[in-house]
Structure 1
C-alpha cells in the first residue's frame, strides 16, 4: 500500500543526478516531445530542485487522472505489470540510476518512471491506452505466452519508445525516449528508421531492452493510440473474454 510506503533517503548524489537529468532532458525535449508532456510536467509541479515525494505526487496524479502510483524496488514481470495497469495503477521504481548510467539506463529507474511515464498519465488518450492493455492482458489465456509477448511489444514500442505526428513532424511520447539523452540522439539521427506505426508489424517486432532500438514507430495521430490496443486485443483475446472495463 502506498499509504504505508516509506520513501528512501535519497543522497546528495541522487539529488544531483535528478537535477542534472531534469535540466538536460527538459532542454533536449523542447519542441521534440508531445505538448501534453510539457504541460503535465508543469501541472504536476515537477521541479529540478528535488526528487518528488512519491506519496504527494501519487495523490495529485490520482486527483487529475484517476491513476495511482505504486512504488516498487525492482522491475516487475509482464504479468504483474499488466495487472496494475488493469487497475489504473502504475509502478514507479524507487531506485535512481548511478552516474555511470547517466546517458542510458539499462533498466527503468526513478527518473525514467517519474519524469518519463507519470506526466503522460494525465493525457486521457494515453491513460486509456494503458488501461486497455491491462484489461487485454487480464483476458488472455493464462498459457498464451505468444499473445502476452505481442501485447508487451505493443506497449514497448508506444509507451516506452513511441513517436506521434504532431503538426506534421514526429514528436516523442515514450518514456524511454523522454528520459534518455542517448536514446533521443539515436532516435532523431537521420540514419535511424522511423516507419509508420502498424499494429501487425509492431506485434511481431523484437523488443531490445538493453541497447538503443533499431527503429521507432510513428503514430499518424494521437487519437489512434487507444484504437491500437483495442485492435490487438481483438486479435489476441478469446471471443468470450473480450476486453471490458
Structure 2
C-alpha cells in the first residue's frame, strides 16, 4: 500500500508552481471547460493552497467513483496503462513540472494528472469510457502494434485533447488541454482546426505528444465516447478475422 509523505517532501517552490498553475488554469477554463470538470474539481476539494495528499485523494475518488489512484515517479508503459484502466485504476505521476514548463509540459506530471484527469473520473459516463478502453486492450497481442496505435489514438484525441459540444458550444475536457495554458490558447486560436469527431479520421491521425496539436476533435455528445470504443473494438475484431 502506497504511503505518501509526498505532501511533506514537495518543496516550497513546488507548492508555488501548484498554486500559480491552479489559479491560472481555473481562470482560463471559466466557461471553456465541460461542466463536469468544475463539478468534479469542487467535489474532490482540490484547492490552490497546497498540493493534495494522494492517499487521501485516492480514498475520496474511490468513495465517489470506485476508481483508485496508482502513484509512480514516471509515466507507465502503454500495456500497463490500459491494464490499469481495465481494473478501474488510474496512474498518477508524482513529479511536478518546473517553472520552465508552465505553459506546456511535454510529459504528464502531477498537475496534469490530478487537476486535468481526476475531476472527470467522477463523471460516470467518462469513467465508463476509460474502463471500456482498458477492457478493449485486454485481448490485444503485443505483436499487433497497429491495434495498439489505434487504441492509443482514440484515448489521446479524447481523454487528453478532446472537446465536446455542450449547449451547441465546444467545451474542453481533455486533460492535456485542461492542464496547459499554452495548449488552451493554441486550441481556441482562429487558425487551429477543430474538427467534428470521426473515428476513422481520429485513428488515422498521428499522435504527437511533444508539441501543440495540429487539430482537435469535437464530440457531438458524451454518448459518442462509449460508442467509439464499441466501434473500434468491432474494427479490430474484423481485422483479426481477415488476418485469420
Same fold by TM-score, threshold 0.5 exceeded? yes
The aligned length equals 240
Superposed, 1:1-245 pairs within 5 Å as 1-2=1-2, 4-7=3-6, 9-237=9-237
User: Secondary structure, in 3 states, of the residue corresponding to 2:6?
Assistant: coil
User: Secondary structure, in 3 states, of the residue corresponding to 1:217?
Assistant: strand
Shift of 1:141: 2.6
Runs (4+) off by over 4 Å: none
Shift of 1:239: 9.5
Structure 1 contact 140–238 (Cα < 8 Å) conserved: no
CA distance in 2, matches of 1:105, 1:63: 30
Structure 1 contact 139–237 (Cα < 8 Å) conserved: no
CA distance in 2, matches of 1:142, 1:14: 38
CA-based RMSD: 1.5
Q: Deviations over 1:54-91 (max 9, x none)?
A: 00000000000000000011111111100100000000
The runs of 5 or more residues in structure 2 that have no matched partner are none
CA distance in 2, matches of 1:230, 1:53: 36
Cα distance change, pair 224–16 in 1 and its aligned pair in 2 (3 A)? same
Structure 2 contact 4–53 (Cα < 8 Å) conserved: no
The runs of 5 or more residues in structure 1 that have no matched partner are 241-245
Structure 1 contact 106–211 (Cα < 8 Å) conserved: yes
Q: TM-score, normalised by structure 1?
A: 0.95
CA distance in 1, matches of 2:131, 2:177: 21
Range that drifts further, 181-190 or 138-147: 138-147
User: Secondary structure, in 3 states, of the residue corresponding to 2:211?
Assistant: coil
